[in-house]
Structure 1
Amino acid sequence: MALACGAGAQAAQWPSQPIKIVVPYPPGGNVDVAARIIAPGLQKAFGQPFIVENKPGAGGMIAGEYVARSAPDGYTLFMAANGPLLYSPLIFGRSNAYQWNKSFEPISSVSYTPMVLQVRPSLPVKSLADLIALAKKEPGKLNMAAPGAGTSNHLVSELLQSVTGAHWTTVQYKGNAPALTDLLSGQVDFDFDQVSVALPFIRKGQLRPLAVTTEKRVKSLPDVPTMEEAGVKNMVATTFTGLLAPKGTPKDIVDRLSAALHKILKEPDVIDKFDHLGAEARAATPQEFTAYLAAEDARWTPVIKRAHIHVN
């Protein structure tokens, strides 16, 4: 009873100080941008600063473990994506560090972003079929940039190799931003990137899109075929971003944050910001977000195991 009363008093007084939103990647990537879009709305809703703090490294696990070990008081939140939340503990062999369904309280999804397969313009390929043919002709010669082991970007690449028999070398980076920098400079040949990040460079002709990872064509890239249209089936994949709190955070705080995000993500200017980036702003209840995470976990964990994806 004393513990329950203490948690209730804590929730009633929250927030009385700034709140940290911990991002598992460097500034500039898909997850970081999403966090910075919602932070002002949360600050307005709760009257306290929501400070975005970047903690990249170890496939996002540095940030994930930091939040998982933080006090469950609502002052430290995790702005997560597929890889850092669901897959990195398995890939890095550190399932004891945290598990999404045991270490966190899902609050709400924030955005859903399709990915695009894009190449440096100087690479002599004009289509997905060309890329696959080149990769088969010279196995391992092409370099694919990934923003971290176990990210959705990485897993889609592994799945594509598996279903086509092509092979390339995966170069791992600590986030989207440094991977993109090397792709733009021609240090690597191609990547799978979130449309929200890739779109400005595609529009400027700095990168050439070959296919998108959605069932239907992306509105912002109407001339780019889906993976199925380009000749490869069952390659639908989306990167989510979502907000979570350490396990044990009072339900009232979780519910209040979720309710605030529902309002923020329906605001026309917020919708426009995500839409301009090629992403869909979409909130969920804690229960809905938990169900979504469970389904994604069940879908992609077998891919990791079949491909023997691991980092020593």
Structure 2
Amino acid sequence: MRKLIAPLSAALAAFAVAAAPSVQAQEWPSKPVRLVVPYPPGGNVDGAARIISGELQKLLGQPIVVENKAGAGGMLAGEHVARADPDGYTLFMAANGPLLYSPTIYGRPLYHWQKDFAPISTVSLTPLLVQVHPSVPAKTVPELVALAKAKPDSVTMASPGAGTTNHLLSEMLQKQTGAKWVTAHYKGNAPATNDLLGGQVQFNIDQVSVAQPFIKDGRTRPLAVIAPKRVPWLPDVPTLQEQGITGVEGQTFTGVLAPAGTPPAVIDKLSTALRTVLANPDVKARFYQAGADTQFMTPKEFSAYLAKEESTWLPIIRAANIKAN
């Protein structure tokens, strides 16, 4: 009889280990879940987190707590989540810069999305546009390019920071057109926008969601949207392609990731919940009002999207030698 007890105990132990992730996933979540945002309250990423958190809470039955952890280009939040226990209770509300660009720009490879995170889904995609101060005579991007080529020092682009999507699109536009302009980096989008509105700089590249109110008030003039087709928020504004400029595309994304090693069943449960939330008409309307589109991707699709974004933008960052001061 004793000879049978040892093998039976070993088998039960092995079964318990194998079943643990499944049991954990079935019980998850049994306490509040933290959704860590890499920026201060307000803005595109924080707003997206707050829209989905309430809806996720309804589906999952536990509080989804939005936690703002700004600093180091978003890397404070990224590293915090990457090093958190992979139990599904600490999630990263990521965006282009903190997830993909900042480790290279800051020269601090604290994490890499493929190694340290488990992508769950995108949440929103926001198009950008080129806009000028009304005093600038250019009515199209080719006219702005011609102005910059004729007098490079007379055209300044306001950037919300080195390595932001706004800045990278400016670098890509210069590369594609052969124009050169002065780039003024600010500590955030608010001061950059203020100087554009005041006429201290000539133009910027900004999210449609941020630019809309100023365009409607006539305080800025849009030249082109940086998107494959015109956007419904500004249907009269042409694309860059319509103005003969190709090869310049980009958008800002928000998305949810977990630490690498999070149980697959927890990832699946989160993915299913996000699919439901992002299909909700009320959620879609709230994002639309903010100038963004909801966008669900499976973990596999999100991983492929991130790989493509990385292969597009990191070479531009390195070629332009973009570094944070």
TM-score normalised by length of structure 2:
0.87
Counterpart position of 1:60: 74
Local SS of the residue matching 1:257: helix
The 5 Å alignment of 1:68-87 reads 68-87=82-101
1:37-85 CA-to-partner distances (Å, cap 9, x unmatched) read: 2111111111222222223333222221222122222222111112221
In the alignment, the residues of structure 1 paired with residue 136 and residue 298 of structure 2 have an alpha-carbon distance, to the nearest angstrom, of 44
Structure 1 range deviating more: 155-164 or 50-59: 50-59
1:114-170 CA-to-partner distances (Å, cap 9, x unmatched) read: 111112233343221232233223324433233333222121111111122222233
Counterpart position of 1:183: 196
In the alignment, the residues of structure 1 paired with residue 297 and residue 228 of structure 2 have an alpha-carbon distance, to the nearest angstrom, of 22
Mapped contact 1:107–1:285 kept (Cα < 8 A)? yes
Local SS of the residue matching 2:115: helix
Counterpart position of 2:238: 225
Local SS of the residue matching 2:234: coil
The 5 Å alignment of 1:144-293 reads 144-293=157-306
In the alignment, the residues of structure 2 paired with residue 143 and residue 6 of structure 1 have an alpha-carbon distance, to the nearest angstrom, of 58
Amino-acid identity (%): 59
The 5 Å alignment of 1:24-173 reads 24-95=38-109, 97-173=110-186
In the alignment, the residues of structure 2 paired with residue 57 and residue 186 of structure 1 have an alpha-carbon distance, to the nearest angstrom, of 29
In the alignment, the residues of structure 2 paired with residue 115 and residue 73 of structure 1 have an alpha-carbon distance, to the nearest angstrom, of 36
In the alignment, the residues of structure 2 paired with residue 8 and residue 176 of structure 1 have an alpha-carbon distance, to the nearest angstrom, of 44
Higher-Rg member (1/2): 2
Local SS of the residue matching 2:242: coil
Local SS of the residue matching 1:229: helix
Mapped contact 2:159–2:186 kept (Cα < 8 A)? yes
In the alignment, the residues of structure 2 paired with residue 68 and residue 13 of structure 1 have an alpha-carbon distance, to the nearest angstrom, of 23
Residues 84 and 124 of structure 1: CA distance in aligned 2, closer, same or farther (over 3 Å): same
* 1:11 and 2:28 aligned: no
Local SS of the residue matching 2:261: coil
Counterpart position of 2:8: none
In the alignment, the residues of structure 2 paired with residue 196 and residue 151 of structure 1 have an alpha-carbon distance, to the nearest angstrom, of 16
TM-score normalised by length of structure 1:
0.91
Mapped contact 2:176–2:247 kept (Cα < 8 A)? no
Mapped contact 2:120–2:258 kept (Cα < 8 A)? yes
**CA positional deviation for 1:243:** 0.6
Local SS of the residue matching 1:184: helix
Mapped contact 1:29–1:176 kept (Cα < 8 A)? no
Mapped contact 1:120–1:207 kept (Cα < 8 A)? yes
User: How many equivalent residue pairs?
Assistant: 311
1:172-200 CA-to-partner distances (Å, cap 9, x unmatched) read: 34443443344334444322111122222
Mapped contact 1:113–1:239 kept (Cα < 8 A)? yes
In the alignment, the residues of structure 1 paired with residue 106 and residue 18 of structure 2 have an alpha-carbon distance, to the nearest angstrom, of 37
RMSD: 2.2
In the alignment, the residues of structure 1 paired with residue 207 and residue 191 of structure 2 have an alpha-carbon distance, to the nearest angstrom, of 14
In the alignment, the residues of structure 2 paired with residue 139 and residue 66 of structure 1 have an alpha-carbon distance, to the nearest angstrom, of 42
Q: Please identify which structure carries the higher helix content.
A: 2
**CA positional deviation for 1:267:** 0.9
In the alignment, the residues of structure 1 paired with residue 24 and residue 93 of structure 2 have an alpha-carbon distance, to the nearest angstrom, of 22
Residues 23 and 174 of structure 1: CA distance in aligned 2, closer, same or farther (over 3 Å): farther
